[in-house]
Amino acid sequence: MQNYKHGSHTVYDLRYHIVWITKYRYQVMVGDIAVKCRDYIREICKAREVGILSGKVGKDHVHMYVAIPPYLSVSKVVQYIKGKSSRKLLSESKDLQRRYWGQHLWARGYFVSSVGEINDEIIRKYIEGQHEHHGDAEFTIDV
């Protein structure tokens, strides 16, 4: 249980792979803009207690592998990161302001996938073994 995080009444390990793209897939995340983007994302995540396990700023997209506390939803975290980074990057770069005059740097959607070391089979076996431990054979799972 070393990898688990602890809250006042919780023990958790919630990790996600998140990807989002620039609007129109313009390849604008290069040079100083990419560095600033990475720094802003780090800043935003630190403020929200979101752990960055790995990440990459590509020319037209961002990949992140993050650990999110249970009191935050993935959608809120993505909203914070995309919104604040967009606002800061657009306010500091004239090139981005000309390219994205509508104040939207990132495309609307994103991809997310939960990631963990425990797979479906391990969870099923654990739950099936619980009736033996607790003596409750009424609540079983039919696969």
Question: Looking at the annotation, which residues are catalytic?
Answer: 126
Structure tokens at 44: 């935003």
C-alpha 50/C-alpha 41 separation (Å) is: 10
- Helix H segments across the chain? 31-47, 74-92, 94-99, 120-134
Assess contact for 7 and 70: CB atoms under 8 A. yes
Question: Hey, what's the torsion of the CAs at 114, 66, 93, 21, to 10 degrees?
Answer: -20
